[in-house]
Chains A and B, each alone.
Chain A
């Protein structure tokens, strides 16, 4: 239940941010949304079983072990979402530099967007 409420809050906040103007708010929205989905993924493995799998005492009793698969999924998803969010931030920075407009900034735009 707690997980469901947390997911609901995060997704609601994320969607609200996505509907706001401005790329920065959209990025915040994606961060919240991504966290919501990550909690959902974790919850899909069941939150009541918490013992570490494979190692330590009680490793033989599958009913008490946490499901390692969703945790691996979340690790992967976190990395991907983080990378793409940072790329969006780079686009944001390049854009604001382009609007700012003097030569130095224009060079930075090119650095941020690739070397062309």
Chain B
């Protein structure tokens, strides 16, 4: 297959975004037409990327690691794009998520020309970061991803958007500076930033230390405990569709880069794996416990987001084919399930004007479809058979038992149980308990005492109206359906994940492809 395909996921969305920005300037009067064009471009571009990524994935599964040297420079100077099974799989998953969240944004009425353009630039950064074969380009692509996210957060957010934006930008800027320092140190020690040439470089202690600085910066971006506190505080403020977009992309790029860099530069060094195991368990436990005390759907879900990053880290900490495959499977199913849950939360927020648990109730009768989608996704998140989360947890437990990491097994079991408790709480509060109007001691005047963040974007109106647009439920149902089918027919994805994990355990093919002139 022609390697020029590799450039498309980076160039096409960027071109689309540029076109949209031009359009939104030139035609100030015709807002409706501009919006239609924006949607057409945004969705079309993302479909193109999705198709390209599937082609890349089939190629990678045939055992071919495609590389593209931009500008035709020799290896070591050129910006290398490379797609192996892991990279192509990640691009496929993230582009599917971008597509569905653009549809969701259209349904919530959050999108406009500039919003779609920003989302496209953000996705460019994500695809680039997933496909690049050198550390400095990774830094640049991560910035390309983050800068639109700063703007999206602040322009979509509610009352506390500025304070949240300030915190979010500051933390990420610090992490980026740290990342850059790590790259500089690594270049000083090894004289290269090409991941292929850096393979096994961490056998030199100085290079290992420099890489550790890079990994630490990625740990902040991946929201690993104790570096996680920026995530719940900023995600709770963004608009519903923006949160869906962020949840599937930003931290996942951090996790992907951790997998890739540890596998290539450290060559999966078993001496430091305990760090990932300890941090993984800590992240799982702290995230799930913090979620227990939260009082709005969104903040419960964002703390679970932290908790689930721990599961993936556990997969990295095992660093066997089975463990890494479990981590990757978990990542894929998590992106799907979490997006479905956040879309349910967003639909409730848009329809009922709030996502605070004590103001909701009795929606189960009026919104059976939503309740079904939420129920399926919540159970998948917990890991109830036969849904996707069950397969992911099972694979992870099997891999941990094979490595005799029984503490990790216990953590998976306990955290799943606590997740179930949390999801039951959400289910009861949203769907089954009586409506707040019929409950005593519940008035809008007590808003000031609430610790929950008020829903952004959404006009405050009494929680009565049904969810207006059926389009809101379409992406949610697609994702919930995916969660079911990934559970019932997990075999193909497991095979793909195992191939991806093999590529991490034995980086020979990847390194050869990146370094070959």
Contact yes or no, A77 B169, CB < 8 A: no
Option from B112, B114, B165, B183 in Cβ contact (under 8 Å) with A73: B183
User: What 1/0 flags go to A79-116 for Cβ under 8 Å of B?
Assistant: 01101110110011011001000000000010001111
Contact yes or no, A23 B180, CB < 8 A: no
In the bound complex, CA of A88 to CA of B112 (Å): 23
Contact yes or no, A43 B151, CB < 8 A: no
In the bound complex, CA of A66 to CA of B431 (Å): 67
- Residue picked from A18, A80, A85, A87, most chain B C-beta under 10 Å: A80
In the bound complex, CA of A85 to CA of B165 (Å): 13
Q: Is B37 an interface residue (CB 8 A)?
A: no
Contact yes or no, A116 B176, CB < 8 A: no
* Complex interface: chain B residues within 8 A of A26 (CB): 170
User: What 1/0 flags go to B87-122 for Cβ under 8 Å of A?
Assistant: 000000000000000000000000010100000000
Q: Chain A interface: which of B184-192, B422-430, B463-471, B483-491?
A: B184-192
* Complex interface: chain A residues within 8 A of B163 (CB): 95
Q: Is B8 an interface residue (CB 8 A)?
A: no
- Among residues of B, the one whose C-beta sits closest to the C-beta of A97 is B162
- Residue picked from B114, B155, B161, B180, most chain A C-beta under 10 Å: B180
Contact yes or no, A33 B177, CB < 8 A: yes
| Inter-chain CB contacts under 8 Å: number | 93
Contact yes or no, B180 A44, CB < 8 A: no
In the bound complex, CA of A33 to CA of B174 (Å): 9
* Complex interface: chain B residues within 8 A of A94 (CB): 162
In the bound complex, CA of A30 to CA of B180 (Å): 13
Option from A41, A69, A113, A116 in Cβ contact (under 8 Å) with B162: A113
Contact yes or no, A37 B154, CB < 8 A: no
Contact yes or no, A77 B180, CB < 8 A: yes
Q: Is A40 an interface residue (CB 8 A)?
A: yes
Option from B140, B150, B151, B185 in Cβ contact (under 8 Å) with A76: B140
* Complex interface: chain A residues within 8 A of B162 (CB): 91, 94-95, 98, 109, 113
* Complex interface: chain A residues within 8 A of B140 (CB): 76, 80
Per DSSP, chain A at the interface is helix
* Complex interface: chain A residues within 8 A of B180 (CB): 37, 41, 77
In the bound complex, CA of A44 to CA of B174 (Å): 20
Option from B143, B150, B174, B184 in Cβ contact (under 8 Å) with A70: B184
* Complex interface: chain B residues within 8 A of A69 (CB): 77, 187, 193
Contact yes or no, B184 A115, CB < 8 A: no
In the bound complex, CA of A81 to CA of B107 (Å): 35
Q: Is B136 an interface residue (CB 8 A)?
A: yes
In the bound complex, CA of A44 to CA of B192 (Å): 10
Contact yes or no, B147 A41, CB < 8 A: no
Count B interface residues, CB 8 Å: 32
Known: A44-B185, A76-B140, A77-B180. A91 touches B155 (CB 8 A): no
* Complex interface: chain A residues within 8 A of B150 (CB): 84, 87
Contact yes or no, A41 B155, CB < 8 A: no
User: What 1/0 flags go to A11-32 for Cβ under 8 Å of B?
Assistant: 0000000100001001000100
- Residue picked from B77, B165, B181, most chain A C-beta under 10 Å: B181
Contact yes or no, B170 A70, CB < 8 A: no
* Complex interface: chain A residues within 8 A of B170 (CB): 23, 26, 30, 88
Contact yes or no, B169 A41, CB < 8 A: no
Contact yes or no, A91 B169, CB < 8 A: yes
Contact yes or no, B114 A115, CB < 8 A: yes
* Complex interface: chain A residues within 8 A of B155 (CB): 113-116
In the bound complex, CA of A91 to CA of B161 (Å): 10
Q: Is B156 an interface residue (CB 8 A)?
A: yes
Contact residues, B155-172 vs A (CB, 8 A): 155-156, 161-163, 165-166, 169-170
Option from A77, A81, A91, A98 in Cβ contact (under 8 Å) with B165: A91
Contact yes or no, B174 A114, CB < 8 A: no
In the bound complex, CA of A81 to CA of B143 (Å): 10
In the bound complex, CA of A33 to CA of B176 (Å): 11
* Complex interface: chain B residues within 8 A of A113 (CB): 154-155, 161-162, 165
* Complex interface: chain B residues within 8 A of A76 (CB): 136, 140
* Complex interface: chain A residues within 8 A of B401 (CB): none
* Complex interface: chain B residues within 8 A of A116 (CB): 155-156
Q: Which 9 A-B pairs have the closest CB atoms?
A: A114-B155, A44-B188, A41-B184, A44-B187, A40-B184, A44-B184, A37-B181, A113-B154, A95-B162
- For the A-B complex with A69-B187, A113-B155, A113-B162 known, give 20 more contacts whose Cβ atoms are closer than 8 Å: A18-B174, A30-B173, A34-B177, A37-B180, A41-B184, A43-B184, A44-B185, A44-B187, A44-B188, A76-B136, A88-B166, A88-B169, A91-B165, A92-B166, A94-B162, A95-B166, A109-B162, A115-B112, A115-B155, A116-B156
Selected A-B contacts with CB under 8 Å, 6 pairs: A30-B177, A40-B181, A84-B173, A87-B151, A109-B162, A113-B161
Chain A interface (Cβ < 8 Å from any Cβ of B): 18, 23, 26, 30, 33-34, 37, 40-41, 43-45, 69-70, 73, 76-77, 80-81, 83-85, 87-88, 91-92, 94-95, 98, 109, 113-116
